[in-house]
Amino acid sequence: MNLRAILHIIAISLMAFSFASCSNETKTTSKLLMDSELKTTHIETVVFGLGCFWGAEKRFSQLPGVVDVISGYADGVGVNADYKTITQRKNRFNPNNHAEVIQVSYNPDQVSLTVLLQDFFEQHDPTQLNQQGNDIGTQYRSIILVADQAQITLAENVAAQYQTLLTEAGLGQITTQIKLIDTFYPAEEYHQDYLVKNPNGYCPDHSTGVVFSPADKVEKKDNSPILTGQHIVVIDSEFCPYCDKFKADVSNDYQGSIPMHFRRASQLDGLTITSPTWATPTILFMENGVEKFGIQGYVNATQFYKALGYFKLGNSEAFNVAFTEGTDSRFCKQYEIFKNTPDGLFIDKVSGAALFDTRDRFDSGTGWLSFTKAIDDSVYYKQDNRFGMKRLEIRAKKSDIHLGHKFNDGPNGQPRYCINATVLEFKARS
């Protein structure tokens, strides 16, 4: 099975997810007033447009001092403030179209408008005109909408400071519009807290990596170890629920032999990357510092390990056994190596999880590795009625690879776990 086929299998199992079709519905502004404590607190608001509002809402909502964030529309003239209208073809490049924006309510005693403005510039690429990455059109324009002239002056000063930093970094001119707010229209309800409601997908990160304070700049990473051998690089972001989900579902329990590294998009110096780096998470499979292939967006454990399996095993007998439910040849080379190992554990060749113990191994004379049991909670079973037989298939719980079959003809009435040696690695007991 070639790489194109593997990636196609992975891709069709992922949710169709496009930030270019960022959709929208109504969240009432009464949320802020429902909290009686806030009624007596001095709360101010500012409106930001920095591309698709899903990720912007999530990131700003997690900043200290921010009380509430609402997705919505603003700065349009003669255009209805709803998603159906602003996404019509005729309005895509209409300068009077509404922008996708967020209304940020904050406590100025806890966070200043200056800090919020700095975060605004740092969280996207303000040099892009009517665009953020693949999201193209006037609805995605970079814009700041404030309450009075003093705030306009403040925003212009922060923008000038950021322009100096961008110029020093060799980047272009800021296109951000700075205006007085007229009317803010809350978006449709299904857009509010969108990333919380929809746990699959990826978060767009269009930030330039240029920050205001040197102390807050993204830490440089030593990528020299990635330049030799096989490695996995995961591009993540500080405020990305899909990254958190990938860590919880996959990487926190990863035990594989290929090292996994987490990097921000601005921490890839020295690596040869061909995939876009603005979507998080993006999983890159690297060899000698060069990307072999990558996957944008969240993937679950089964999808990740299938991609990793192809990366590690290639178009081999082991891959065929693990992912297309093939079978080792009797008395294969790997079997001859593994049938008389020292005391230790047999581990999943893909995930690194322990599966079988040499203390449960026995010689069945069949030409396949045989065990009386698996390590607790390491495998699961499926009925296999292929080839006119009724068998119980054994699969690795973590990576979901095919291991073999379970029979009832083991020694002293015990089961016989008939296991393919090519999908295993051996680790001596320490």
pLDDT tens digits, residue range 241-271? 888 899 999 999 899 999 999 998 888 999 9
Nearest Cα residue to 55 out of 264, 210, 239: 239
- Check residues 109 and 75 and name the one with the higher pLDDT: 75
Given pLDDT bands bounded at 50, 70 and 90, which one contains residue 219?
Answer: low
pLDDT of residue 6: 52
22-204: which CATH architecture?
Answer: 2-Layer Sandwich (3.30)
pLDDT tens digits, residue range 227-239? 999 999 999 886 6
DSSP annotation of 273 reads -
Is the overall model pTM greater than 0.75, yes or no? no
Averaged confidence pLDDT in the chain: 87
Nearest Cα residue to 54 out of 188, 250, 247: 188
φ and ψ at 285, to 5 degrees? -100, 110
Encoding tokens for residue 170?
Answer: 């060799």
Residues with catalytic function: 52
- pLDDT at 20 > cutoff 60: no
Point out the least confidently predicted range of 278-292, 361-375, 380-394. Answer: 380-394
φ and ψ at 293, to 5 degrees? -165, 165
pLDDT of residue 14: 43
118 vs 100: CA distance, rounded Å: 19
pLDDT tens digits, residue range 51-66? 988 888 988 998 888 9
The listed CATH number (3.90.230.10, 2.170.150.20, 3.30.210.10, 1.10.600.10) that belongs to domain 333-428: 2.170.150.20
Radius of gyration of the chain (CA): 27
Nearest Cα residue to 240 out of 200, 207, 296, 202: 202
- pLDDT at 349 > cutoff 60: yes
Q: Percent of the chain beyond pLDDT 70?
A: 88
- CATH top-level class of 218-299: alpha beta
Residues 392, 381 contacting (CB under 8 angstroms): yes
Give residue limits of the domains in the chain. Answer: 22-204, 218-299, 333-428
pLDDT tens digits, residue range 78-90? 999 999 999 999 9
pLDDT tens digits, residue range 267-311? 899 999 999 888 889 999 999 999 999 999 999 999 999 999 999
Q: What is the DSSP string of 121-175?
A: HHTS-TTSSSEETTEESGGG-EEEEESSHHHHHHHHHHHHHHHHHHHHTT-----
Answer left, alpha or beta for residue 139, where phi above 0 means left and psi between -120 and 50 means alpha: alpha
pLDDT tens digits, residue range 22-52? 333 333 333 333 343 333 357 899 999 999 8
191 vs 56: CA distance, rounded Å: 12
